[in-house]
Amino acid sequence: MSDFANSADLDEELESLEVVDDGPEASDHRPDTADAYGEDPPEPVEDTRIDRVALRRQIEDYYLPTQLVDAILEMGGIPESSEVTLVGIGFIDIADYTYLSQFLSPQENQDVLNGLYTAFTGVLKRHGGYLNKLEGDSLMFHYGGNIDPRVRNMDDAEAKRYIAKELFYTCVEMQRVCALFNQANERFLVEGVSEEARDSLRRAFNIISTLRNTFELARNINALFQIRIRIGANIGKVTIGNFGPDGAKQWDVIGTAVIDAKRMESTAPVGGLRISGELYQALVETRVAEEYYTRFLREARLLRSYYRDITMEELFRFSEVEIKEKRGALFQTYSVQVTPNLPESIAKQVVDLINIGPAGADRVIDLLKYYRGNPYVINAIEDAFTQIGVVLRKRYILSTMYPLQFEAIERQFDGNVDAITEHVEAHFTLFALLEKLGRFQDIVKQPDSRGGADTEFVDYDRYMSAAETRIRAAYAESRKTMVQRAYFFNVVFPLVFASIRSSIIEYQIGAEELETLAGA
């Protein structure tokens, strides 16, 4: 039964209630929370609704290339069609970064890479280059095209001169900046650098400085942790414009010139630069090559570097690079030295590596294999060996590579070991021996003969009889070369570097024994 006996009682009870007039929202009135629960009200819930317009603007500002946005705004609209135009393209790759990354945590790796790319971006801004993309430990940039305001009003000849010069000097400066970055040296910073960029560099420099200055780690880290890059560059016609599906458009450049620039990078010397024949000719025509040689030579002489007597041909070293995926196609390229004190830097690293034990010896051998074609670096390394007391067995190395030549020397000195050793030391530098090793390698790498031209098809039996004769003759002709090749790569090459490594290990053990005696 209802608490109210009849409707009259209900009406009387309603009239006794205090009426609160809250206006038109009165029907939504709820008791005060404190009154309802007899306690302090809970903290108000923060409104988590997103201002999507503001967030979209923030995303665009954060991820879209400012340079591209500014160029499109200046043009007054997004270009709807692509164009074929002259562009200079550069690629950078960090050499052996997988090895370097083992010294760092994932967050430290990110901070170091961000700092390095911040440094590289600063170089691009100074020269007017466009950062095309970052992919892991590599970077692509270019000059020219309709988003490059500096070439917009130039004719083709002017644009080519401008692009060639800026591309080349950007590559050179990238290597110089990398060397300073390696030392946590911010000398490359210029006025006007944003605070965000400075913070990025500080985080990277703090990590590098900590690694290099922590007493327990310093010797090993200074020897092993060296950030070095390879750079490749080319100039040529490309298609530039919008690529990709709706919702994922990218402003990009495509074409053979881009592919060739990447090939230049993949074959470039670590710490150096490889440029295409096309770019080199543009540098010669504009006298940039001559200007650069004068500048490099002056710096090397001021530093009293091993490079102080380098020639123009050695600074721009011509070589034909074979591209296997192009069926052995040869590309005319030039390897360019960019660091005047590179020989001294490598020699110092070699000494540091020798002082950390067998693992260091292995890294020294890697450096010797890599730089064995550079007489200035190898001479600096040999001088470092001599200064600290590493004794190379050149007599053994020569006899392993060229036994007949060594036997002639033995006969010349009637088998007198001391006289033979003195003769070999006087006439064969380490570079001369490695150069001989390289010539040996070039000989055994010569392609085998195909055994003559194919015969005209008459019928199966006669055609196959001629083919078998031709193929067997080719095999007989190449068998000697096959044996020589196997002997070189499985015996000579390993023994030469095993001998050098053994000399380093001999020195290391001797140094350890001296330390033990000194501490006894």
Q: Tens of pLDDT along 310-349?
A: 999 999 999 987 776 666 678 899 999 999 999 999 999 9
- Averaged pLDDT for residues 68-78: 78
For residue 1, the model assigns a pLDDT of 45
Which carries the bigger pLDDT value, residue 516 or residue 180? 180
* Distance, CA of 194 to CA of 344 (rounded, Å): 34
Planar angle of CA 276, 338, 440, nearest 5 degrees: 70
Which carries the bigger pLDDT value, residue 15 or residue 485? 485
Q: What is the DSSP string of 160-207?
A: HHHHHHHHHHHHHHHHHHHHHHHTT-GGG--TT--HHHHHHHHHHHHH
Query: Which pLDDT band holds residue 153 (cuts at 50, 70, 90)?
Result: confident
State pLDDT tens for residues 450-493.
555 677 887 898 889 988 998 888 888 888 888 888 999 999 99
Report the Cα 67 to chain-centroid distance in Å: 24
For residue 216, the model assigns a pLDDT of 55
Q: How many helices (H) and strands (E) are present in the chain, helices listed first?
A: 22, 8
Average of per-residue pLDDT values in the chain: 84
Query: Which pLDDT band holds residue 387 (cuts at 50, 70, 90)?
Result: very high
For residue 83, the model assigns a pLDDT of 87
Q: What percent of the chain has pLDDT over 90?
A: 49
State pLDDT tens for residues 259-270.
999 999 999 988
Which carries the bigger pLDDT value, residue 403 or residue 153? 403
Taken in order 61, 64, 67, 72, the sign of the CA dihedral is: negative
For residue 175, what are the contacts with CB-CB under 8 A and spacing of at least 6? 229, 231, 271, 272, 273, 338, 339
- Kindly tell me the burial class for residue 159, based on how many C-beta atoms sit within 10 Å of its own C-beta (0-12, 13-18, 19 or more): buried
Asked if residue 4 has pLDDT above 50, the reply is: no
CA dihedral angle for residue 66, residue 69, residue 70, residue 75, rounded to 10 degrees: 160
State pLDDT tens for residues 178-207.
988 988 888 777 666 788 888 999 999 898
Looking at the DSSP assignment, which residues form a beta bridge with residue 334? 275, 318
SS3 54: helix
pTM value?
0.78
Asked if residue 142 has pLDDT above 90, the reply is: yes
Highest mean pLDDT among 23-32, 56-65, 167-176, 219-228: 167-176
- Averaged pLDDT for residues 377-393: 97
For residue 365, the model assigns a pLDDT of 96
For residue 425, what are the contacts with CB-CB under 8 A and spacing of at least 6? 394
CA nearest to 259, candidates 162, 191, 331: 331
State pLDDT tens for residues 92-107.
999 887 777 877 888 9
Asked if residue 16 has pLDDT above 50, the reply is: no
Which structure tokens are listed for 300? 């090397």
For residue 182, the model assigns a pLDDT of 85
- Averaged pLDDT for residues 421-443: 94
Instruction: Identify the DSSP state of 23.
Output: G
SS3 for 274-310, per residue?
A: EEEHHHHHHHHHCCHHHHHHHHHHHHHHHCCCHHHHC
